[in-house]
């Protein structure tokens, strides 16, 4: 669907069931040698909202996700989740601060069961971490039961509760996507980063994914930052949209306004000599 013709979302009030804080991206820049992949980008994900980050190929969307999760260092700027400056904590602590991330290329262990994959996301919440569970230290058994129950509950919520003891690799692609989101939700995040959740899906799977993303916002009350090329999905569910182009912020507004923005239309449609065209 074209960026300009997708149907805007009906206004829906953000839920507030957890202690959800704003994610503030303040003037961040990321550099790869001579390439400025992000150039002083700012935007705020308001608590309990679905916020889409869109832009043509190479605009800097994945770089932004990787900066938030500390995979890439910032050249400058700040990323605040509530009072916590994410840039000042080690990468492995990001999940425990409340940031969950589901990946475009699924981050599942195919041969492990669904429940074990989701439990992998859970270890960031445990005192002894993965190792004490791996060696089955006695003090971990009771808490493992509790965490497994919660992991199963999350799988039920995502509609994959019937597959708990099947190897993840045996599930359909759509169900594997759900398990990957369950793994991200297992850290009990206050913000969930979703990287192209509808990639590779047909129209009915995409509609189900839209529903699921709405449910996560409305029923869990957490914020969602979404990178997605399917403009039908984005304009249908996002409360707010930030548009990047060549590493710069081009627009930041409600979907209906972004769709009419001439700069955004130009970035997506390109000019006659622009090779970056894509059909969102
Ligand atoms: N690890 C890296 N090393 C060098 N350059 C990189 C690296 N990651 C991204 N880039 C460059 O940074 C720019 C932004 O890339 P990025 O992957 O963030 O764009 P994107 O908006 O996610 O694109 P797409 O929609 O195609 O995934 C591009 O010029 C890209 O080539």
Residue of 3, 37, 68 best suited for mutating to test ligand 1, as the one with most atoms within 8 Å of CB: 37
> How many whole angstroms separate alpha carbon 41 and alpha carbon 242?
10
Query: pLDDT tens per residue, the chain (280 residues)?
Result: 344 334 444 333 333 446 789 999 999 999 999 999 999 999 999 999 999 999 999 999 999 999 999 999 999 999 999 999 998 888 888 888 999 999 877 778 899 999 999 998 777 666 555 555 555 666 666 677 888 899 999 999 999 999 999 999 999 999 999 999 999 999 999 999 999 999 989 999 999 999 999 999 999 999 999 999 999 999 999 999 999 999 999 999 999 999 999 999 998 876 444 444 443 4
> How many whole angstroms separate alpha carbon 71 and alpha carbon 10?
35
- Residues 60-89 pLDDT 10s: 999 999 999 999 999 999 999 999 999 888
Percent of all residues in the chain with a pLDDT value above 70, rounded to a whole number: 82
Q: How far is the CA of 36 from the centre of ligand 1 (A)?
A: 10
Residue of 55, 61, 226 best suited for mutating to test ligand 1, as the one with most atoms within 8 Å of CB: 61
> How many whole angstroms separate alpha carbon 275 and alpha carbon 280?
15
């Amino acid at each position: 669907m074209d960026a300009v013709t997708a149907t805007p979302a009906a206004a829906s009030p953000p839920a507030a069931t957890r202690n959800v804080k704003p994610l503030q991206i303040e003037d961040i820049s990321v550099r790869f040698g001579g390439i400025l992949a992000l150039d002083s980008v700012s935007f705020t994900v308001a608590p309990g909202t679905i916020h889409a980050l869109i832009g043509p190929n190479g605009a800097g969307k994945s770089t932004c996700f990787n900066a938030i999760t500390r995979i890439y260092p910032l050249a400058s700027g700040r990323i605040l989740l509530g009072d916590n400056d994410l840039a000042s904590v080690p990468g492995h602590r990001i999940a425990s601060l409340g940031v969950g991330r589901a990946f475009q290329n699924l981050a599942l262990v195919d041969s492990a069961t669904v429940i074990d994959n989701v439990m992998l996301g859970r270890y960031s919440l445990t005192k002894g971490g993965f190792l004490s569970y791996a060696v089955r230290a006695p003090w971990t058994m009771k808490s493992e039961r509790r965490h497994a129950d919660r992991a199963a509950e999350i799988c039920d919520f995502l509609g994959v509760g019937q597959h708990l003891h099947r190897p993840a690799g045996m599930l359909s692609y759509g169900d594997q996507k759900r398990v990957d989101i369950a793994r991200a939700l297992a850290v009990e995040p206050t913000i969930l980063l979703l990287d192209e959740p509808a990639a590779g899906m047909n129209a009915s799977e995409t509609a189900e994914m839209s529903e699921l993303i709405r449910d996560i916002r409305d029923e869990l009350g957490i914020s969602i930052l979404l990178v997605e090329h399917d403009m039908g999905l984005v304009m249908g569910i996002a409360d707010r949209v930030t548009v990047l182009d060549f590493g710069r912020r081009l627009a930041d507004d409600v979907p209906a306004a972004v769709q009419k923005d001439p700069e955004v239309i130009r970035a997506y449609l390109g000019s006659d000599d622009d090779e970056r065209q894509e059909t969102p």
